[in-house]
């Protein structure tokens, strides 16, 4: 009996002792100073990309890695690629286990919490000359208020276009030579086609999100970093979308849809409009060749969004010099141009590279693709980041829930926006 | 003479105990600890007392999640307790081709709930097969918003859960009916003039009572913890206003990702744990064995005591 009590007490003590291992450890945010990459580099580094290991990009990456290893024979680069879905969760588990790859592909919103936790190298301190190499807006997207430093090298920049099903629109009397260029024109068209088709051919496939509000000129954040988009202008935009839903210009399922459903409904022939990148014809060719035949592209309505992808260096890397040198190598102008020739519609993140955008369309023969790339290169001159990095997935879900209620008329647009702004300000992850 | 040391049994169970400690008990204790902090992924939290619990009880989103989960339980428990029993009685007969029907009724159990939910979301779409059929027959003028109306969406999710669970619990009842040996009881009751319904109530149900208790407990727990059906049918949004979000969906929504609020999600998880105990305690109370107590009336008590002494 006494032994049983002793054994049970030991087990309980072990359990309580383990409970002391709670929470994640805060990263060491101390800067490591300048890093010299000019000397002889050595070691093994891991390089992680996000859904880029495929027939198109694999030869490119293998060449880049081989040429880097040729320049630095004592460095070995191990390339790993993560699937498209669940990337945040994968990064989180790697960060928690202190196994973040040395060089990793991160957009600014995913890089931010890692930078907050001190998991990423401050590239501005590591090599102050880097900032002049990259497009200023893209470089700044990896700098965050309250955290000193810059935590990503802009790698490739993209934006959206507007894609239309010409055959479907002409059926309802739309002049496809004069398609919408503003959100209000898009809304008017959706109402017109919705009424004319009796709801059988909706135009719009998704609810307005934060990007649509920003694109329409609504101010999202104030100078203090508080969300302030519950304005009369934003409410008026939601009211307009309610009219679209009532007229049958938007399918009811858009109320529980995600952005990903946007292009899917277009490919299924269920809606006449979608926003997508300039490589959309490739997807259409594979998934919906009959829709491709009647698809045309125009510039995105309202302000064009800027999507930034970059390479970051792990602060826990045991080979920071090699990692920094490799990240800088992959993101130099020559390699970025070569990458963007494969990734149709994307532009390099370096100043020199973005100025040489004409080179990217050499070799493209598809007229729709060529037109799309031309539109993209014009849009990129004024594209901007519409969704701030402070905006989280939980906020997106809450916004979608409230906007759905507003579009159903169960809540006023202003009340819905007030709730979303309150929620967003109460749940900010920046201090 | 002892054949083993005192610690031998402990060593034999040690691997299982360690597994339970590391993967069950420690995460549970850790979650309780985190629920009193404002922890985020990668960032240690500070102790904030019961702020997370206070916030939870004043959070309208949590109110909807609680309503959805409780409604799910209240509706699914009777449906998945009674319907599989009726199905089992139907396929219990040993007639030709009955195996085919048993297999067919079991098919939904082995189908992936995600795939099924996706297919159902197409079927119940505003331009899906059900709405198209109803409009073709002229029974409705406008499509029924199955997937964007709060109550229709909940009904679709519950229907999906019941459809998937019928075959599984049918098999449990078949096993209980097969081993109950009630054929003679049915015959005796029939000879005494009991009708089929009376025999069902007085013979069949008591014979499968333990299986019924087990099924009620299983369904109650899994219904309160519903996730996949609602997640897929609402595309993770919880429906307009989040009114069809379940508690588990809310935990995922609040706590996942690099910017998740781990402290708040932990508080909701702890609440869910204790909430799950209530239906189990209720079911145990309803199915408690009646104690053999002495009657209160004096003459009856005297006869009871005499009987006890004689025994």
3-class DSSP assignment, residue A148: strand
User: In the prediction, which pLDDT does A141 show?
Assistant: 92
**CATH fold match for the domains A43-157+306-373 and A161-303+392-426:** yes
A393 vs B contacts (CB less than 8 Å): 253, 256-257, 259
Picking from A23, A106, A264, A314 by the largest number of B CB atoms within 10 A of its own CB, the best residue to mutate is: A23
Write the DSSP assignment of B77-120 as a string of letters.
HHHHHHHHHHHHHHH-S--TTHHHHHHHHHHHHHS-HHHHHHHH
B29 vs A contacts (CB less than 8 Å): 15-16, 18-19
Q: What angle separates helix B60-91 from helix B262-286, to the nearest 10 degrees?
A: 40
Measure CB to CB from residue B235 to each of A89, A257, A405 and give the nearest one.
A257
3-class DSSP assignment, residue A242: helix
A116 vs B contacts (CB less than 8 Å): 42-43
Instruction: Copy the structure tokens of residue B162.
Output: 């019941």
Contact state of A398 with B242 under an 8 Å Cβ cutoff: yes
Contact state of B42 with A96 under an 8 Å Cβ cutoff: yes
A107 vs B contacts (CB less than 8 Å): none
B237 vs A contacts (CB less than 8 Å): 256, 258, 397, 400-401, 404
Write the DSSP assignment of A295-330 as a string of letters.
EEEEEPSSSPB-EEEEEEEBTT-S-HHHHHHHHHHH
Q: Cβ(A300)–Cβ(A99) under 8 Å?
A: no
CATH number, domain B58-288, options 3.30.390.50, 1.10.3720.10, 3.40.50.200, 3.40.50.1980: 1.10.3720.10
In sequence order, which residues have a C-beta less than 8 Å from that of residue A143 and are 6 or more positions away? A124, A149, A150, A151
Q: What angle separates helix B60-91 from helix B247-255, to the nearest 10 degrees?
A: 130
Distance of CA A208 to the CA centre of its chain: 17
Q: Exposed e or buried b for every residue in B271-307, given b needs 16+ CB within 10 A?
A: bbeebbeebeeebeeeeeeeeeeeeeeeeeeeeeeee
**Cα A251 from Cα A253, distance rounded (Å):** 5
B131 vs A contacts (CB less than 8 Å): none
Beta strands in B101-224 (DSSP E): none
Give B254→chain A minimum CA distance, Å: 6
DSSP A221: B
Q: Cβ(A350)–Cβ(A332) under 8 Å?
A: yes
Instruction: Copy the structure tokens of residue A17.
Output: 């002792």
Q: Exposed e or buried b for every residue in B140-178, given b needs 16+ CB within 10 A?
A: eeebbbbbbbbebbbebbbebbbebbbbbbbbbbbebbe
Nearest CA in chain B to A19: B30
B256 vs A contacts (CB less than 8 Å): 89, 393
pLDDT tens digits for range B104-151: 889 899 999 899 888 988 899 888 899 999 999 999 888 888 998 999
> Over chain A (431 residues), what is each successive 10-residue block's mean pLDDT?
59 50 43 80 95 92 96 95 92 94 95 94 94 90 92 93 93 90 93 91 91 93 93 96 93 75 82 88 87 92 91 95 96 92 86 79 79 86 89 93 95 96 91 59
- Give how far Cα A93 sits from Cα of A315, A320, B22, Å: 16, 21, 18
Measure CB to CB from residue B21 to each of A15, A88, A401 and give the nearest one.
A15
B242 vs A contacts (CB less than 8 Å): 397-398, 401
Contact state of A404 with B21 under an 8 Å Cβ cutoff: no
**Cα B297 from Cα B34, distance rounded (Å):** 57
In sequence order, which residues have a C-beta less than 8 Å from that of residue B62 and are 6 or more positions away? B56, B247, B250, B268
**Cα A403 from Cα A416, distance rounded (Å):** 6
Q: CA triplet A238, A243, A248: central angle to 5 degrees?
A: 125
Which single residue is written with the structure tokens 């960032």?
B43
In sequence order, which residues have a C-beta less than 8 Å from that of residue B303 and are 6 or more positions away? none
Give B68→chain A minimum CA distance, Å: 15
A and B: number of Cβ contacts within 8 A? 141
DSSP B236: T
Measure CB to CB from residue B242 to each of A96, A401, A408 and give the nearest one.
A401
Domain ranges of chain A: 43-157+306-373, 161-303+392-426
Q: What is the CATH number of domain A43-157+306-373?
A: 3.40.190.10
A16 vs B contacts (CB less than 8 Å): 29
Give B216→chain A minimum CA distance, Å: 32
Nearest CA in chain A to B141: A198
Beta strands in A167-220 (DSSP E): none
Contact state of A7 with B253 under an 8 Å Cβ cutoff: no
User: In the prediction, which pLDDT does A382 show?
Assistant: 86
Domain ranges of chain B: 58-288
Contact state of A256 with B258 under an 8 Å Cβ cutoff: no
B125 vs A contacts (CB less than 8 Å): 253
**Cα A270 from Cα A168, distance rounded (Å):** 10
Per-residue pLDDT tens, chain B, 311 aa: give them. Answer: 566 788 899 899 999 999 999 999 999 999 999 999 999 998 888 999 999 999 999 999 999 999 999 999 999 999 999 999 999 998 888 888 888 888 888 989 999 989 988 898 889 988 889 999 999 999 988 888 899 899 999 999 999 999 999 999 999 999 988 876 667 777 777 778 878 788 888 788 888 888 999 999 999 999 999 999 999 999 888 999 999 999 999 999 999 989 999 999 999 999 999 999 988 888 788 777 655 555 555 666 666 566 666 65
Distance of CA B189 to the CA centre of its chain: 34
Dihedral (Cα; A102, A108, A111, A115), 10-degree rounding: 110
Q: Cβ(B161)–Cβ(B229) under 8 Å?
A: yes
Contact state of A256 with B237 under an 8 Å Cβ cutoff: yes
- Mean pLDDT estimate for chain B: 88
Give A384→chain B minimum CA distance, Å: 23
Query: What is the CATH topology of the domain spanning A161-303+392-426?
Result: D-Maltodextrin-Binding Protein; domain 2 (3.40.190)
**Cα B212 from Cα B205, distance rounded (Å):** 8
ipTM of the complex: 0.83
In sequence order, which residues have a C-beta less than 8 Å from that of residue B115 and are 6 or more positions away? none
Contact state of A14 with B21 under an 8 Å Cβ cutoff: yes
Measure CB to CB from residue B240 to each of A11, A255, A261 and give the nearest one.
A255
Contact state of B236 with A258 under an 8 Å Cβ cutoff: yes
Contact state of A15 with B242 under an 8 Å Cβ cutoff: no
User: In the prediction, which pLDDT does A19 show?
Assistant: 45
- Give how far Cα B239 sits from Cα of A242, B35, B158, Å: 17, 27, 15
User: In the prediction, which pLDDT does A283 show?
Assistant: 84
- Residue A403 phi, psi (nearest 5): -65, -40
User: In the prediction, which pLDDT does A162 show?
Assistant: 93
Contact state of A114 with B258 under an 8 Å Cβ cutoff: yes
Measure CB to CB from residue B126 to each of A252, A402, A411 and give the nearest one.
A252
């Amino acid at each position: 009996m006494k032994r049983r009590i002793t054994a049970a007490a030991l087990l309980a003590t072990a359990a309580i002792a383990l409970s002391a291992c709670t929470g994640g450890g805060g990263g060491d945010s101390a800067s490591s100073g300048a890093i010299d990459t000019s000397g002889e580099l050595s070691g093994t580094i891991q390089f992680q990309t996000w859904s880029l290991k495929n027939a198109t990009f694999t030869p490119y990456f293998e060449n880049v890695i081989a040429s880097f290893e040729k320049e630095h024979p004592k460095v070995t680069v191990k390339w790993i690629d993560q699937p498209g879905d669940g990337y945040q969760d994968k990064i989180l588990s790697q960060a928690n286990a202190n196994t973040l790859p040395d060089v990793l592909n991160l957009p600014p919103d995913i890089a931010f919490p890692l930078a907050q936790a001190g998991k990423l190298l401050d590239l501005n301190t590591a090599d102050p000359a880097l900032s002049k190499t990259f497009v200023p807006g893209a470089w700044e997207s990896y700098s965050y208020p309250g955290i000193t430093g810059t935590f990503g090298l802009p790698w490739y920049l993209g934006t959206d276009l507007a894609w239309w099903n010409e055959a479907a629109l002409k059926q309802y009397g739309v002049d496809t030579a004069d398609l919408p260029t503003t959100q209000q024109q898009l809304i008017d068209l959706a109402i017109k086609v919705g009424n004319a088709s009796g709801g059988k051919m909706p135009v719009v496939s998704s609810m307005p999100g934060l990007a649509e509000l920003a694109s329409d000129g609504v101010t999202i954040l104030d100078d203090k970093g508080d969300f302030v988009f519950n304005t009369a202008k934003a409410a008026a935009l939601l009211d307009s979308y309610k009219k679209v839903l009532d007229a049958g210009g938007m399918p009811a399922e858009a109320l529980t849809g995600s952005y990903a459903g946007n292009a899917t409904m277009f490919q299924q022939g269920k809606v006449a409009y979608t926003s997508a990148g300039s490589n959309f014809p490739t997807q259409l060719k594979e998934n919906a060749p009959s829709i491709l035949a009647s698809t045309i592209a125009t510039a995105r309505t309202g302000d064009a969004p800027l999507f930034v992808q970059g390479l970051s260096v792990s602060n826990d890397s045991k080979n920071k010099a090699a990692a920094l040198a490799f990240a800088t190598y992959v993101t130099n102008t020559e390699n970025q141009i070569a990458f963007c020739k494969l990734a149709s519609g994307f532009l390099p993140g370096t100043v020199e590279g973005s100025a040489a955008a004409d080179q990217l369309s050499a070799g493209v023969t598809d007229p729709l693709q060529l037109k799309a790339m031309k539109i993209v290169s014009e849009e990129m001159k004024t594209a901007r980041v519409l969704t701030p990095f402070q905006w989280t997935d939980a906020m997106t879900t809450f916004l979608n829930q409230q906007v759905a209620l507003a579009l159903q008329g169960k809540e006023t647009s202003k009340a819905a926006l007030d709730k979303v702004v309150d929620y967003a300000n109460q749940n900010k992850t920046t201090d | 003479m002892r054949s083993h040391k005192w610690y031998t049994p402990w060593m034999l169970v040690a691997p299982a105990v360690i597994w339970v400690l590391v993967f069950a008990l420690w995460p549970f204790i850790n979650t309780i600890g985190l629920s009193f902090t404002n922890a985020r992924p990668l960032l240690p939290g500070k102790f904030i007392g019961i702020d997370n619990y206070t916030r939870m009880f004043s959070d309208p989103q949590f109110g909807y999640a609680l309503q959805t989960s409780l409604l799910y339980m209240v509706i699914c428990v009777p449906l998945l307790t009674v319907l599989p029993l009726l199905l089992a009685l139907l396929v219990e007969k040993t007639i030709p081709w009955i195996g085919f029907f048993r297999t067919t009724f079991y098919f939904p159990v082995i189908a992936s709930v995600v795939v099924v939910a996706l297919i159902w979301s197409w079927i119940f779409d505003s331009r899906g097969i059900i709405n198209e059929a109803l409009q073709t027959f002229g029974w409705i003028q406008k499509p029924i918003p199955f997937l964007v109306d709060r109550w229709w969406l909940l009904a679709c999710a519950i229907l999906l859960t019941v459809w998937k669970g019928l075959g599984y619990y049918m098999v449990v009842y078949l096993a209980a009916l097969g081993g109950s040996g009630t054929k003679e009881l049915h015959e005796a009751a029939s000879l005494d003039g009991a009708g089929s319904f009376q025999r069902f109530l007085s013979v069949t149900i008591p014979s499968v009572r333990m299986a019924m208790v087990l099924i009620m407990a299983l369904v109650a727990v899994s219904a309160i913890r519903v996730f996949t059906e609602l997640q897929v049918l609402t595309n993770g949004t919880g429906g307009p206003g989040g009114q069809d979000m379940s508690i588990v969906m809310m935990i995922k929504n609040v706590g996942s990702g690099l910017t998740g609020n781990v402290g708040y999600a932990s508080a909701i998880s702890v609440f869910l744990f204790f909430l799950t105990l209530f239906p189990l305690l209720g079911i145990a109370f309803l199915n408690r064995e009646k104690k053999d107590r002495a009657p209160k009336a004096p003459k009856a008590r005297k006869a009871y005591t005499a009987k006890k002494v004689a025994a």
